[in-house]
Amino acid sequence: MKKKLVSLLTVSAMTMSMLAGCGASGSQPAAPSSEPAAEASKEEAKADTATDAATDAATAAESVAETATAEAGNADLADKKVGVCIYQFADNFMTLFRTELENYLIAQGFTKENITIVDGANDQATQTNQIQNFITQGVDVLIINPVNSSSAATITDQVVGANIPLVYINREPDADEEARWDSNGWDVTYVGCDARQSGTMQGEILVDMGQEKIDLNKDGKIQYIMIEGDPENVDAQYRTEFSVKALEDAGWTVDELDDQVGMWDQATAQQLVANSLSAHPETEVVFCNNDAMALGALQSIEAAGRKVNEDIYLVGVDALTEALEDVIAGKMTGTVFNDHIAQSHGAADAAINYLTGAGNDHYIGCDYVKVTTDNAQSVLDSLK
């Protein structure tokens, strides 16, 4: 099944054309060569989606725009109740996501009073209770960013059992779980990006700069430290794996000096990177699974008297405003735009499609965009 690609009319179309304008070829994720057979057709479909991204973008954006026009001001939506579960409010990226989600739901015709967004406080038991409460209250649709992706099967059973359509966001349930929605014909979908692509792009940012530059001590290896998000989360697993894989795929030899878990959090990462840098002053690259942690890393890099892009390289993911400003100022080597606008709009549109009976595919993808000094300003402008 060909998977649907959500793409925001303005941002994604712009960033796509920016990519084309910068001539940044090779920015698509390399098809993983060592995937289990069961994953193969899904991977093919995802690779297809990625490869066709540029050409599909305009069409997808058009159809998103049409859907939006058709639904805008839809009186029926004004009395529909939406429950939204966020894994943790104290997460920079998910804050951007939920703010945009709420605004867009209102723009589509839902009323503010009928949209309830709750904080799972990074605790699955808390979130499970919140889901139960939404079911008891009789919400019409649920949008869930699970605390633990591994709890998805339990969550799905609970929600489907109550006959409520369900849109998962940001933390992708595993392939077996997604297959269950399809084989049972349930109104359940996932809207998000393929984290492998973001990891690959992080590595490619360095590869594009050339080994000569990155191998500061000229020993033929890249000495790096890795700061991971929550290891239960597939985004952390894939970004950790595919960022390094992109260097290896380019024929580079890597030397991992440290691998620490920063739980997506700036202050945690700051402490970890301070320790790593003093234990391993030969560090040439700091990979962070997200920008919040990269911002923490930057504080420690500066405190250690080091200079990004001169005696150390630093990459993140998300394209938070502050990170984009750092890329522009040369204080971060690069980041990867995690399109919270396309994803939140895609999730809201999917919820609407369930409410109107139009239905959805069981996977709705979105592309990441590589961000370097070349395009950081345009990405920042597109987000204003």
Residues that bind ligand GAL (CB under 6 A): 91, 93-94, 170-171, 229, 233, 235, 264, 290, 292, 317-318, 338
Of 71 and 262, nearer to ligand GAL (C-beta) is: 262
Asked if 313 and 253 count as a contact pair (C-beta separation under 8 A), the reply is no
Dihedral angle sign, alpha carbons of residues 230, 242, 194, 289:
positive
Of 134 and 337, nearer to ligand GAL (C-beta) is: 337
Asked if 319 and 371 count as a contact pair (C-beta separation under 8 A), the reply is yes
Q: How far is the CB of 149 from ligand GAL (least distance, A)?
A: 9
Q: How far is the CB of 161 from ligand GAL (least distance, A)?
A: 26
Asked if 265 and 296 count as a contact pair (C-beta separation under 8 A), the reply is yes
Of 233 and 283, nearer to ligand GAL (C-beta) is: 233
Q: Which does 219 bind (CB under 5 to 8 A by kind): Ca ion, ligand GAL, none?
A: Ca ion
Q: Which does 235 bind (CB under 5 to 8 A by kind): ligand GAL, Ca ion, none?
A: ligand GAL
Distance CA 336, CA 319 (A): 6
Q: How far is the CB of 174 from ligand GAL (least distance, A)?
A: 15
3-state SS, 303-343, equals: HCCCCECCCEEEECCECCHHHHHHHHCCCCCEEEECCHHHH
Question: What tokens appear for 121 in the block?
Answer: 């406080």
- Give me the torsion for CA of 84, 11, 378, 262, rounded to 10°: 30
Q: How far is the CB of 324 from ligand GAL (least distance, A)?
A: 14
Of 3 and 221, nearer to Ca ion (C-beta) is: 221
Which residues sit at the interface with Ca ion, rule CB under 5 A? Answer: 215, 217, 219, 221, 223
3-state SS, 176-197, equals: HHHHHHHHHCCCEEEECCCHHH
Q: How far is the CB of 342 from ligand GAL (least distance, A)?
A: 13
Q: Which does 217 bind (CB under 5 to 8 A by kind): ligand GAL, Ca ion, none?
A: Ca ion
Q: Which does 93 bind (CB under 5 to 8 A by kind): ligand GAL, Ca ion, none?
A: ligand GAL
Q: What is the DSSP string of 353-382?
A: HHHHT----SEEE---EEE-TTTHHHHHHH
Q: How far is the CB of 126 from ligand GAL (least distance, A)?
A: 16
Of 272 and 292, nearer to ligand GAL (C-beta) is: 292
Of 108 and 198, nearer to ligand GAL (C-beta) is: 198
Cross-sheet strand order for the sheet of 221-228: 253-261, 221-228, 285-288, 313-315
